[in-house]
Structure 1
Amino acid sequence: MQEHERTGPVDLATWGFSRVAMWVPAFIVGIIFYEVVLRYVFVAPTLWVNEMSLWAAGAVYLTAGLYAMQQRSHIRIFIIYDMLPRPLQKACDVLSLLCLLIFVAAVLYGGYGEAWTKLMRWETFGTAWDPPIPATIKPLILVTLSVLGAQAISNLIYDWNRAPEHHDPADELDLTEELKAEQRRAAQARGEDG
């Protein structure tokens, strides 16, 4: 997959989050391997690995959507979208942005009090190791959604005057360039656009 270009300050922040987050699954695998060795080889299990893996995985899960939004790899029904004239495509883009911003605003409005309370109380997980998962993940939800909304606005602004893209179901397949060239030659031989 070729990454979408970075087009502004929000893209840079999203790209930065993603570069940190891409290493966290390796960290999770490492600490789980450590736990398995300690538990089954040395019969000395840890108290912290399970909660640490939950904490790290929760953070990655939340921030992964930012990268998907920046890369424009979120779900869109291209078979319908590509048939629309450009002004109607832009109207659909604005409508989807408005729906997203309404969702973001609703979650921020509804979740701010609880997130603030958990952060100020430094609420912990309630286990033997007792990490502050609720105190950190709840505010991270709000921060992530705020950046997601800003990323969606940035995408709309950048993509507004770009030429429309047309999609082919074959684009989703991981075809080699040689096979794609052969398909183009076959389509041209049949007299189709390619």
Structure 2
Amino acid sequence: MVEHERTGFIDLITWGFSRVAMWAPAFVVAIMFYEVVMRYLFVMPTLWVNEMSLWVAGGIYLTAGLYSLQQRSHIRIFIIYDIVPRWLQRVFDLVSVFCLLVFVFAVIWGGFGEAWAKLMRWETFGTAFDPPIPATIKPLILITLFLLALQAVSNLIYDWNREAEKTEIAEDVDVIRASLGKPDEKAENRND
């Protein structure tokens, strides 16, 4: 996969988070390997590896969504998107960003009090190792959602005046149209 170009300031923040998240699975694998060696070779299981892996994996999961949005690799129904005119594609983009912004606003509005309380109490996981997973992951959810909203708006602004990119599915639709004897609408519009 070739990474999408950086198109705005928020992309730098997203890339920063994603670079940390890309190395974090190696850390999880290393501590899990350490746990297996300690448990089965030395019969000295650890208390902290399971919770630490949960903690790090939670952060990876959150930042992966942000990176996917920056790379424009979320699922989109191309068969519909690619066959409509560019102005309607822009309407689809506006509606999807609007829905995302409403969702982000609702989650931040509804979750801020709880996240702030957990952070201020430094709420812990309640196990023997007792890491502050709730105190860190809850605020990280809200921060990531805020960055997700900024990234979506940044993508919308950047993509607004760009030429629409055709996917393989759209090319398949053109082949099917040609086999049925129907002309390519976009080719006709280009010839006018």
Q: Could you state the TM-score of these two structures normalised by the residue count of structure 1? A: 0.87
Structure 1 segment 36-51 matched on structure 2, within 5 A: 36-51=36-51
- Note closer, same or farther for the CA distance 1:17–1:168 as it changes in structure 2 (3 Å cut): same
Alpha-carbon distance in 2 for matches of 1:17, 1:66:
9
Question: How far apart are residue 169 of structure 1 and its match?
Answer: 3.9
Q: Name the aligned partner's letter for residue 89 of structure 2.
A: Q
The residue number in structure 1 matching 2:97 is 97
In structure 1, how many angstroms separate the alpha carbons of the residues matched to 2:169 and 2:92? Answer: 21
- CA RMSD between the two structures: 1.5
Q: Which runs of 5+ in 2 are unaligned?
A: 172-183, 188-192
> 2:19, 2:129 → 1: CA distance?
28
In 2, the alpha carbon distance for the partners of 1:165 and 1:140 equals 34
Number of corresponding residues: 173
Please name the residue that 2:178 is paired with: none
1:1-194 equivalences in 2 (<5 Å): 1-169=1-169
Equivalent residue number for residue 184 of structure 1: none
**Unmatched 5+ residue regions in structure 1?**
172-191
% identity of equivalent residues: 72
Q: Which runs of 4+ in 1 moved over 4 A?
A: none
Aligned to 1:188: none
